[in-house]
């Protein structure tokens, strides 16, 4: 048998969690609340030391980077949601978060999904110097442009655009 108290605590909590298999009881609830409480406490402590102290307090106090106070104030505006009269202020940090997310995701998505496909359409990886490969690549390029023109609904499909769109239909078929 182990003399380490943490081994015993882990074993007792494991049995308490397994007791839920029988039915919902006080032992399971105690273990559940303990896990949630310890997890939240640990997360708060890690966030406090690794984010607030190292990324906000140290730059301001040690390096006199006073502009680092601005993001802290914007972050504190999230807590205004708890007060009815000034709850509208919580929209400011939320807008920064959404703007940052869009600013990161949109260019990345454009590069991953659109530019890569365009690059692979234009490049001829199998081009070995003969004219047949070049003709094949030209046919694929014309097909891609015609198909995209067919799905471009901002312009009326009349005249040259209409003829290219009709060619796109033939490529799709």
Q: In this structure, are 14 and 86 located in the same domain?
A: yes
Q: In this structure, are 119 and 86 located in the same domain?
A: no
Tell me the pLDDT of the chain (173 aa) as tens digits. Answer: 889 999 999 999 999 999 999 999 999 999 999 999 999 999 999 999 999 999 999 999 999 999 999 999 999 999 999 999 999 999 999 999 999 999 999 999 999 998 888 888 777 666 677 888 788 888 988 999 999 999 988 889 999 999 999 999 999 99
Domain that holds residue 63: 1-92
Using the Cα atoms of residue 144, residue 149, residue 151 and residue 154 in order, give the sign of their dihedral. Answer: positive
The whole-model pTM stands at 0.56
Domain count, the chain: 2
Candidates 137, 168, 134; CA nearest to 150 is 168
Residue 75 lies in a domain: yes
Q: Which two tokens stand for residue 92?
A: 């400011």
Q: Which of 62, 92, 122 is the last residue of a domain?
A: 92
d(CA 137, CA 130): 12
Q: Do 30 and 16 form a contact (C-beta atoms < 8 A)? A: yes
């Amino acid at each position: 048998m182990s003399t380490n108290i943490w081994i015993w605590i882990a074993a007792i909590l494991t049995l308490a969690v397994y007791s839920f298999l029988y039915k919902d009881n006080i032992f399971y609830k105690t273990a559940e609340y303990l896990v949630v409480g310890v997890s939240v406490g640990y997360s708060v402590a890690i966030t406090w030391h690794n984010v607030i102290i190292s990324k906000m307090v140290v730059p301001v106090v040690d390096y006199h980077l006073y502009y680092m106070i601005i993001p802290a104030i914007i972050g504190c505006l999230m807590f205004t949601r708890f007060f009815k009269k000034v709850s509208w202020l919580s929209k400011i940090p939320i807008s920064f978060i959404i703007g940052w997310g869009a600013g990161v995701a949109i260019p990345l998505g454009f590069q991953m999904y659109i530019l890569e496909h365009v690059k692979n359409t234009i490049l001829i990886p199998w081009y070995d110097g003969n004219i047949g490969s070049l003709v094949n690549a030209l046919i694929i390029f014309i097909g891609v442009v015609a198909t995209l023109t067919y799905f471009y609904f901002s312009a009326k499909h009349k005249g040259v655009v209409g003829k290219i769109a009709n060619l796109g239909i033939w490529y799709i078929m």
